[in-house]
């Protein structure tokens, strides 16, 4: 029999658990207090220099849209295989593994884009296809040294040799 103390404990524990899951899954911008003072904490502002906004190139947007459409089409086809009654268990397992691989690859692409943005301050598009990695960077100058540095920083993430190409676009 459950007594009052254990019932009270279970109720509070479940409430704490639900609130902690909610807090963890909440978007981070909702956690920041509203107001202009929080965005400039710890930064020195020079009012003489204009603030430049960073916009993504239309080339990168087009490449991202194309890659996302291709990925969504593949995922839809694989979901169709998974939900079909006529497919075998092996086909469903293969489709599930391909879906996992697509999601892992997309995560790697986003991580590499973030690494290049943090390291080299370049907006990029990264496409991984097997052992080939294609990088399209938005830059006015086409610097061979910068391309080599980008290739080295990408190769650091992998134990096996990858074929990396870097293309600069305006």
pLDDT in tens, 38-72: 444 445 555 555 544 445 678 888 899 999 999 99
Q: Is the pTM of this model over 0.75?
A: no
pLDDT at 149 over 50: yes
Any domain includes 104: yes
What average pLDDT does range 148-152 have in this prediction? Answer: 94
What is the rounded CA–CA span in Å between residue 121 and residue 114? 9
Any domain includes 21: no
DSSP string, 104-125: HHHHHHHHHHHHHHHHH---EE
Q: Which tokens go with 52?
A: 């430049």
What average pLDDT does range 157-169 have in this prediction? Answer: 93
**Residue bearing the bigger pLDDT, 41 or 17:** 17
Number of domains present in the structure of the chain: 1
Any domain includes 6: no
Residue 166: Cβ-neighbour burial (10 angstroms; 0-12, 13-18, 19+): buried
What average pLDDT does range 119-143 have in this prediction? Answer: 91
Any domain includes 119: yes
* CATH code for the domain in which residue 147 is found: 1.10.287.4300
DSSP string, the chain: ---HHHHHHHHHHHHHHHHHHHHHHS-GGGTSPSSGGGGGTT----TTSPPPPP---HHHHHHHHHHHHHHHHHHHHHHHHHH-SSS-HHHHHHHHHHHHHHHHHHHHHHHHHHHHHHHH---EEEEEETTEEEEEEE-SS--HHHHHHHHHHHHTT-SS--EEEEEEE-
Any domain includes 82: yes
Query: Would you state the pLDDT for residue 36?
Result: 47
Any domain includes 37: no
Any domain includes 115: yes
pLDDT for 58-111, tens place per residue?
888 889 999 999 999 999 999 999 888 898 999 999 999 999 999 999 999 999
Which domain, by its residues, includes 85?
58-168
- For the ranges 27-36, 141-150, 158-167, the lowest mean pLDDT is seen at 27-36
What is the rounded CA–CA span in Å between residue 138 and residue 61? 11
Any domain includes 17: no
**Residue bearing the bigger pLDDT, 122 or 57:** 122
What is the rounded CA–CA span in Å between residue 121 and residue 22? 34
């Amino acid at each position: 029999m459950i007594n009052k103390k254990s019932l009270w404990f279970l109720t509070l524990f479940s409430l704490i658990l639900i609130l902690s899951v909610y807090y963890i899954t909440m978007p981070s911008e909702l956690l920041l207090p509203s107001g202009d003072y929080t965005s400039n904490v710890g930064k020195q502002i020079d009012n003489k220099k204009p603030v430049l906004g960073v916009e993504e190139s239309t080339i990168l947007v087009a490449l991202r849209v194309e890659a996302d459409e291709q990925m969504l089409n593949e995922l839809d086809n694989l979901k169709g295989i998974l939900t079909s009654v006529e497919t075998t268990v092996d086909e469903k397992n293969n489709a599930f593994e391909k879906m996992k691989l697509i999601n892992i690859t997309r995560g790697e692409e986003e991580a590499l884009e973030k690494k290049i943005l943090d390291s080299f301050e370049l907006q990029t598009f990264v496409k991984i296809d097997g052992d080939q990695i294609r990088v399209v960077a938005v830059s006015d100058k086409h610097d061979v040294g910068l391309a080599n540095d980008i290739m080295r920083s990408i190769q650091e993430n992998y134990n096996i040799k990858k074929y990396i190409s870097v293309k600069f676009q305006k």
